Structure 1
Amino acid sequence: MAENAKWYVIHTYSGYENKVATNIEKSVENRSLQDLIPEVRVPTETVTEIKDNKKREVERKIFPGYVLVKMVLTDDSWYVVRNTRGVTGFVGPASKPVPLTDEEVEALGVEVKQIEVNYAVGNIVAIVDGPLEGFTGVVEELDLDKNKVKVVVSMFGRETPVELELDQAQLEN
């Protein structure tokens, strides 16, 4: 059942995001609804603030007033989320929950997709997507955390390093 779960956005009172997320998680645990609501997130980013000439790392909410909930939409799951203190409603027309598309989830960086890479530095790869599709090159460096690969492509008799996403290249057969 949990594999059918989609991400929904709920609106909360500003400043209550963490409390709402915690309360939803408690309700899920108390009612054993882990199958229906596997995950609750308050997207944050770490930023460096300079205050009084002092640098410090601060965690800031990316979407103040919103919480992301991965859930299978049923009457029960809707009821639990909707009746959590601090929740003002789901984001969607007439507060009917509308799930985020896979593209939106990816763009928000909510779920990090692990890309399996079958090549390594020094391998010859074929570029399978993007403006250089059809070219081949040698892998110069891999950055799995940033989902990037640097490939040196020979174009017009010149060696040109290009940066691609990991899934834009694959091992040459």
Structure 2
Amino acid sequence: MADTEAHWYVAHTYSGYENKVKMDIEKTIENRNLQDQIFEVSVPMLNVVEEKKDEQKTVQKKMFPAYVLINMIMNDDTWYVVRNTRGVTGFVGPGSKPVPLTDAEMASMGLKVDAPNVPFTIGDSVLVKSGVWEGTTGIVRKIDHEERMVTISIDIFGRETPTELSFNDVEAV
């Protein structure tokens, strides 16, 4: 069952015990010095606007009731710690074998997807490869990894003009 790479796994819990399970696993990680094997325990929350008596209130609700997401290296120790935490009924997967979430599953849930690697940073010069500004150089002012967009300043008629482009439309100079 030993794996050398960390993946996200889903543990099923009793409904309403998600936060208690999260705290218990985190305490066990600390007590058993498993910080290098279990990296993150998460109960994804969602902001929901509720309306009561003509008053709107934003409240947090669990995105996946009765489930806890765990980023860990799967081995006998980590499996035992999670599986034997009070409130955990098991891992999601066929039989007793936990199955890690794929990157596509993580992205579709809007959770922890690695930021794309871009060959430039704020302040770097970039060349626009396509679109209206093709062939123009600009200075990177802002990088939005989530939207895969970059804001660059282009000199137009002696004025700096901010322009937002896709990562695919620019390259480092």
Normalising by structure 1, what TM-score?
0.73
Higher-helix-fraction structure:
1
What SS does structure 2 have at the residue aligned with 1:38? strand
Q: Give yes or no for the alignment of 1:125 onto 2:138.
A: no
Question: Does residue 115 of structure 2 align to residue 114 of structure 1?
Answer: yes
**Structure 1 position 36, deviation (Å):** 1.1
CA distance in 1, matches of 2:27, 2:109: 25
**Following superposition of structure 1 onto structure 2, how do residues 7-26 of structure 1 map, counting pairs within 5 Å?**
7-26=8-27
The number of equivalent residue pairs is: 150
Q: Distance in 1 between matches of 2:33 and 2:127?
A: 50
CA distance in structure 2 between the aligned counterparts of 1:146 and 1:172, rounded to whole angstroms = 20
Unaligned runs of 5+ in 2: 152-163
Change (3 A) 1:101 1:167: farther
- Please show how residues 81-160 of structure 1 align to structure 2 within 5 Å: 81-115=82-116, 116=118, 118=120, 125-126=128-129, 135-138=130-133, 144=144, 146-149=146-149
| Contact persistence 1:124–1:136 (CA under 8 A) | no
Q: Confirm or deny: 8 A CA contact 2:10 2:70 kept in the other structure.
A: yes
Return the offset for 1:106: 2.4
27 and 57 in structure 1: CA distance in 2 versus 1, 3 angstrom threshold? same
- Give the TM-score taking structure 2 as reference length: 0.73
Give the RMSD, CA atoms, in angstroms. 3.0
Residues 1:172 and 1:145: Cα distance change in structure 2 (over 3 Å): closer
Q: Report how far residue 95 of structure 1 moved.
A: 3.0
